[in-house]
Structure 1
Amino acid sequence: MGNGPLLSLFWLFLFIFAVQILLSKTKPFRIPSVLTYLILGMVISYFGKEMFRQEDIKWLDGLSEFGLYYLMFLSGMEVDLTCLRFQKRTKLRQNTLIIGLFVFMGSAILALLIGMRIHQIDPSTQSWMMMLILLTTSLGIVMPVLKETGIIHTQYGQLLLTSAILADLITMIVLSTIGGSYYTGLTWRQASVGLLLPLSVIFYQTILRLRESLFWKMEIRKNFTVQLQGLLAILGLYGIFTDLTGSEPILGSFLAGFLLSSLQLQDHHPFKEKLEGIGYGFIIPIFFVMVGFHFHIEDFVKSPVAISWVPLLLSTAYIVKVLPMMCLAPILNMRKALAGGFLLSSRMTLIVVATSIGLRLGVINRGIQDAAIVVAIITSVLSPMIFSISIKKQS
């Protein structure tokens, strides 16, 4: 059934529209849209797969990949730079960046210890790779949930966003470097990944000075078309740099959004509203639906090795995030600390990328990769729900 990709896209958005109607009816329960999109993808895969041809699925996968990049771009755009700056007169316990680094370091230590234990259980699995896998956090889930609950611009919301950014950013850089140098050795191409960060600082300073110029005030500030063209130019430029360095495109997408955050656009700024409308209304839902669509539970059930790894990976996935956040209970209170730890335990995209790289390098086995996908689905379903319920009770 179906005569082309546009028809498959129509069916997909018809289902998404129906989900949005259901979400509006269950608004008091604050069900995260990410959760419903994932479940929708699983339902379509099980009951309505015959509605999509193979070539249509490939076309939708292309849109899904772009949706991921766009989501990373919007995530970078949501970063409040004022919360990330170290202020000399601010106490350390009130500095979002310092606290975020503390949470990341605590997670890294726990992840390394657990990775060493897993290496003892299975010598073919390298402890450093397990550390990277456990360190991942799905920024693509954390950011939309924080936005939906309306706390993204609070100090608490920025703390969670900063912790997620640090986890994903550092993991992306390390994976991008190790992925191409594990067997061949570190080359200039892999080492140049580190140039993206100072390059972002240079671009950031350039944008700040450009905003103060007469050219900006006369030609750009009120011209949406020119602003959009400039944005696409920045995205294209970062695409070139990430390709030259061999790093993951999600890193470049996030850094491009981070640059745009220097414009300090308000929530109801017309330009920002249009960008978010394109993302959350069209492109991003496709990404989450297709992630659920490609998960085949029947294949997983047939793998006893993969099933045996799920309880261990699931428990450790929460331990490495929840325990460091619990140390912040004197600052946040225990409910907020636990809720934040559960939300940071959400894993979807980067954990799949990490396990794919690990399997290709031969430092993990197939069972761990399959189990990690299941853990990603479970944490992506449970964690946002637990966080939303906890925040609702707190308010």
Structure 2
Amino acid sequence: MGQGALIPLFWFYLSIFFVQILLSRMKGIRIPSILAYLFLGILLSYYGKGLFHQEQMKWLDGLSEFGLYYLMFLSGMEIDLKSLRFQKGVKIRQNPLIIGLLVFAGSALLAFLLGTRIHQIDPSIKSWMIMLILLTTSLGIVMPVLRETGVIKSQYGQLLLTSAILADLITMIMLSIIGGSYHTGFTWRQASAGLLLPLTVIIYQAILRLRKTSFWHKEFHKNSVFRLQGLLAVLGLYGIITDMTGSEAILGSFLAGFLLASFHLHDHHPFKEQLEGIGYGLIIPIFFVMVGFRFNISEFVRSPEALGWVPLLLSTAYIVKVLPMMCLGPILGMRRALAGGFLLSSRMTLIVVAASIGIRLGVINKGIQDAVIVVAIISSLLSPMIFSMSINEPS
């Protein structure tokens, strides 16, 4: 790393700090931080080209990739295992898990049909990749909005939360399996990715037993640094295994977070706050800033193809979520069903990840990737506002 290699990082963190100050001052409009980081990256790329050299930016790609894995880890931590269990004594039409699975199945069918149509428009674009892109949602947006509107504990809120969790979890697994086997074919190496799930159970049981020992209370329980290093070791173990199996490392990171979620750490638990502080304060912003930095807005504006994809992808992104939720109109009421469909259409994290994987596999083009980023920005701004206005209107 040559002289001045850290200069871009210094500029990034200085800019991120001022962005946070700006967001804290905006009381009337709530803009997700990750969306602000994307905008920041775009601005730095457009106005700060003279500040950075290409050689200085290369090593930040590695830090950005780790930020992605850490983001997937924190996303796994947000999963409420209780919402993924069958609830005995609850009618099928009131069971969040069953309804969530039906909503996802409806979305998958629509996404497949629309993906096939897009493939007919441009045969170089694989329909299954478009399907996975359209199936994504943003748990990181859905959960805070449900909390802010005060419906997260209600049956309606749990239904939307479960639907968002299922969309993230199933799409993550499908992305990992297909992404790891697309070029090499599905071999024993990819099949060994199935070991991740039993490994999660084994590690969970091992940690439960470790917590009963004096070693845990003397070292882990009292030493926060040692506890953090142990957790990062588990995250590293999942990363190594996913690399050995040829699956996507995002799945291993997600399952590591899913493992920690099984210990039911409350929102203000010191350890959880420490992990989130490291992620959202130090590592994850770099990932989104770099995504925005690599997004060439001048090239996008001058590209009729990329501009043309935006309205098509945006409309299909809403269709695959809103139409299945409309089928729940007789149960939820049409206004609440529509509002829920719009909220589930919020896309930010996983859709950007899916587009990045699609580019790496060569199954979508740069125009689609740029259009996906624009769709993520628009849906992340528009969907929460529509939901909040609809849910606060009198019935």
Task: Answer yes or no: is the 8 Å Cα contact 1:208–1:262 preserved in 2.
Answer: no
Identity %: 76
Alpha-carbon distance between aligned partners in 1 of 2:214 and 2:191, rounded to the nearest angstrom: 39
Deviation, structure 1 residue 187: 0.5
| Structure 1 segment 373-384 matched on structure 2, within 5 A | 373-384=373-384
Relative to structure 1, the CA distance from residue 262 to residue 177 in structure 2 (aligned partners, 3 Å threshold; closer, same or farther) is closer
Relative to structure 1, the CA distance from residue 6 to residue 371 in structure 2 (aligned partners, 3 Å threshold; closer, same or farther) is closer
Deviation, structure 1 residue 108: 0.2
**Aligned partner of 1:82: which letter?**
K
Alpha-carbon distance between aligned partners in 2 of 1:94 and 1:216, rounded to the nearest angstrom: 41
Cα deviation per residue 1:260-304 (whole Å; 9 max; x = unaligned)?
112211122111111111122222222222222221122123332
Q: Which moved more, 1:357-366 or 1:314-323?
A: 357-366
Q: Which residue of 1 aligns with 2:204?
A: 204
Deviation, structure 1 residue 209: 4.4
2:20 is equivalent to residue 20 of structure 1: yes
SS at match of 1:58: helix
Task: Answer yes or no: is the 8 Å Cα contact 1:30–1:388 preserved in 2.
Answer: no
Task: Answer yes or no: is the 8 Å Cα contact 1:309–1:371 preserved in 2.
Answer: yes
Q: Which residue of 1 aligns with 2:237?
A: 237
Q: Which residue of 2 aligns with 1:53?
A: 53
Alpha-carbon distance between aligned partners in 1 of 2:325 and 2:162, rounded to the nearest angstrom: 13
Relative to structure 1, the CA distance from residue 358 to residue 164 in structure 2 (aligned partners, 3 Å threshold; closer, same or farther) is same
| Structure 1 segment 60-139 matched on structure 2, within 5 A | 60-139=60-139
Alpha-carbon distance between aligned partners in 2 of 1:277 and 1:150, rounded to the nearest angstrom: 25
**Aligned partner of 1:37: which letter?**
Y
| Structure 1 segment 176-325 matched on structure 2, within 5 A | 176-182=176-182, 184-212=184-212, 216-217=216-217, 219-325=219-325
SS at match of 1:346: coil
**Aligned partner of 1:170: which letter?**
I
Q: Which moved more, 1:384-393 or 1:173-182?
A: 384-393
SS at match of 1:52: coil
| Structure 1 segment 30-45 matched on structure 2, within 5 A | 30-45=30-45
Alpha-carbon distance between aligned partners in 2 of 1:390 and 1:8, rounded to the nearest angstrom: 42
Deviation, structure 1 residue 43: 1.8
Task: Answer yes or no: is the 8 Å Cα contact 2:318–2:345 preserved in 1.
Answer: yes
Task: Answer yes or no: is the 8 Å Cα contact 1:189–1:246 preserved in 2.
Answer: yes
Deviation, structure 1 residue 105: 0.8
Deviation, structure 1 residue 346: 3.2
Alpha-carbon distance between aligned partners in 2 of 1:149 and 1:280, rounded to the nearest angstrom: 23
**Aligned partner of 1:20: which letter?**
Q
Deviation, structure 1 residue 383: 3.4
Cα deviation per residue 1:48-73 (whole Å; 9 max; x = unaligned)?
23222323322333322222211111
Q: Which moved more, 1:10-19 or 1:244-253?
A: 10-19
Alpha-carbon distance between aligned partners in 2 of 1:92 and 1:194, rounded to the nearest angstrom: 30
Q: Which moved more, 1:131-140 or 1:207-216?
A: 207-216
Alpha-carbon distance between aligned partners in 1 of 2:154 and 2:118, rounded to the nearest angstrom: 38
| Structure 1 segment 156-195 matched on structure 2, within 5 A | 158-182=158-182, 184-195=184-195
Task: Answer yes or no: is the 8 Å Cα contact 2:176–2:251 preserved in 1.
Answer: no
Deviation, structure 1 residue 83: 2.1
**Aligned partner of 2:275: which letter?**
L
SS at match of 1:185: coil
Instruction: Give the structure-1-normalised TM-score.
Output: 0.85
Q: Which residue of 2 aligns with 1:4?
A: 4
Q: Which moved more, 1:381-390 or 1:242-251?
A: 381-390
Deviation, structure 1 residue 76: 0.9
Q: How many residues align?
A: 394
**Aligned partner of 2:259: which letter?**
L
Q: Which runs of 5+ in 1 are unaligned?
A: none
Cα deviation per residue 1:86-138 (whole Å; 9 max; x = unaligned)?
22223334433223212211110111122233344444544333322321234
SS at match of 1:29: coil
Deviation, structure 1 residue 335: 4.9
Q: Which runs of 5+ in 2 are unaligned?
A: none
Instruction: Give the structure-2-normalised TM-score.
Output: 0.85
